[in-house]
Amino acid sequence: MRIDQRLISSSLKYLYFYGNHLDIMWESYNNKYTHFFQNLTNLTYLDISNNDLKSVSPEVLCNLPGSIETLSISDNLLNYFPWQNISALTNLCHLNLSQNFLYHLPLKVVEFGANFSLLDLSHNRLSNIPEDFFSMATSLHYLYLNNNQIKALNHQFLPAPFRNGSALQKLTLHANPFKCDCDTSWFVDFLSTTPVQIPYLTTYVRCDYPESQQRKSVLSMDQRSCQDIYGSLAFVVCSFFAVAFTVLPLLKHLYGWDLWYCLQVLWAGHKGYSQLAGSDSHHHYDAFVVFDTQNRAVRDWVYNELTVNLENAGHRRFGLCLEERDWIPGLSCIENLHNAVYSSVKTVFVLSSGATGGETVNGVIRQAFFMVQQRLLDEKVSKMYFLFP
C-alpha cells in the first residue's frame, strides 16, 4: 500500500506479483490502483496469482498493458471474470484461471486474439461448456478442464475445440463427475478416436453417474448395452403394432357395428341433439319397417306384399316408413335412423333366413334394434315386432 499508484518501466518483461493483496488495491470504492500495471509498456508475463481476488473488473482488465502475452490469475477466489473485455489484450497467448471458483462461462462468443493458444480452467466449479464460447478461439492448442463439475457435453452443440479439424492438441478432462449412460455413449467414441492428447484417459477419466458405473473408466462403458436397450425398445414397439394390426381387424369384424354405433351416439351427445325444424308432430308413421335392402327376396316381399296390404288396405290404412323411400337425402345414416325410430309408433323388423338357416342381420338392423331398446327404457312400452317372411 506504500508503493506508487503506477509502476513505470519500458524494459520490464516479467513481473511476479503473486502473494500480495490486489483484492484491497482493486476494491470497488478505491480506483487508485486501476492503472497500476498500465505503464509497463514492454511487459509480456504477469503473475497475479494468490492475491485473494474475488473478481476482476472490466476497467482493470482493459488497463493492463496490451503487450501481455501470458496472464496468470490462478489460486484466487474468482467467481467473476470479464470475458467480454479480454479482446483488449490483443497479444494474449496464455491465460491461467485455475484454482478459482468460476461456476459459469458466458453463452456469448468471446473474442480471443489470433495468437491465443492456452486456457487453463482447471480446479474450478464449471458444469457446462457453452457452444459459442470458443467459436473465435481458432488457434487454441491447450485446454485444461480437469477437476471441474462437468457431467456431460451436448453432442448436438459441441464446442469448437472438441470438433474434428480443430487446432486443439492437448485436453485435460480427468477428475470430472462424468455421466455414463446411453445419452452420452457418443463420448466414448470421441475419446477413443480423437487425435487430441488427453492425459490420464485410462486411469482418471471416470464415471460418477449412475451409481452402478461409479469410479469406472469412461472407456469401459459397453456401448452394445445401449444397442440392446434400443433393440428391446424396438422389439416392444414392433410387437405392439403387430398385435394391434392383428386384433383391431378382428374386433372390427366381430363388433365393428357395435363400436361404430357407440361412437356415433357419443359424438351426437358431444355435439348436442336438437329436433329438426317443422317436426312438431310426435308420430309421423304407424310403423318403421327395418329390413335388409340388399336381400332381393325380402325387398320384393316388403314392397309387393307388406306395403301393398298395409298402406292400401281399404278402410284402415297404415303409414309405413321405409329406408329407401322415406329417408331424407343428405342426412347421415344415424340421424335418419333416429328420426325413423322416434317418428314411428312401432318398429317392425323383417328378418330373413340365410343359406345356413340362421337369420342375417346387417348394420342398420342392429342400430335400429339398439335405438328401439333405448326407446323402450325411456317410454317403458314395447315398440318392436319381428316378422319372418
pLDDT tens figures, 126-149: 999 998 999 999 999 999 999 999
If you compute the radius of gyration of the chain from its CA atoms, what whole number of angstroms results? Answer: 43
With respect to residue 301, please indicate whether it lies within any of the assigned structural domains. yes
Give the pLDDT of residue 223: 67
Rounded distance between C-alpha atoms, residue 216 and residue 108, angstroms: 35
E strands along 41-176, which residues? 45-47, 70-72, 94-96, 118-120, 142-144, 170-172
pTM: 0.61
With respect to residue 378, please indicate whether it lies within any of the assigned structural domains. yes
Q: In what helix (H) or strand (E) does residue 27 lie, and over which residues does it extend?
A: none
* Cα–Cα–Cα angle for 62, 58, 87, rounded to 5 degrees: 50
With respect to residue 367, please indicate whether it lies within any of the assigned structural domains. yes
The 10 Å CB-count burial string (b at 16+, else e) for 348-363 is bbbbbeeeeeeeeeee
The stretch 246-268 carries a mean pLDDT of 73
With respect to residue 307, please indicate whether it lies within any of the assigned structural domains. yes
Q: In what helix (H) or strand (E) does residue 294 lie, and over which residues does it extend?
A: none
Assess whether the previous peptide bond of 82 is cis (omega < 30° from 0): no
Number of structural domains in the chain: 1
With respect to residue 347, please indicate whether it lies within any of the assigned structural domains. yes
Domain of 365: which CATH number? 3.40.50.10140
The region of weakest confidence among 3-12, 301-310, 357-366 is: 357-366
CA 283 to chain centre: 58
- pLDDT tens track for 287-298: 888 888 888 888
Sequence letter at residue 243: V
Residue 235 CB neighbour total at 10 angstroms: 10
- pLDDT tens track for 34-50: 999 999 999 999 999 99
Give whichever of 94-103, 209-218, 245-254 has the largest mean pLDDT. 94-103
CA distances (Å), origin 370, targets 241, 262, 382: 33, 10, 13
With respect to residue 351, please indicate whether it lies within any of the assigned structural domains. yes
Closest CA to 352 of 293, 309, 288, 304: 293
With respect to residue 377, please indicate whether it lies within any of the assigned structural domains. yes
Rounded distance between C-alpha atoms, residue 384 and residue 382, angstroms: 6
With respect to residue 328, please indicate whether it lies within any of the assigned structural domains. yes
Give the pLDDT of residue 353: 67
Give the pLDDT of residue 276: 45
**Whole domain around residue 298: which residue ranges?**
285-387
Q: In what helix (H) or strand (E) does residue 367 lie, and over which residues does it extend?
A: helix 363-379
Q: At how many degrees (to 10) do helices 363-379 and 223-271 cross?
A: 60
Residue with the bigger pLDDT between 114 and 248: it is 114
Q: What is the mean pLDDT of the chain?
A: 85
Give the pLDDT of residue 275: 47
Could you tell me the three cell numbers for 375?
326407446
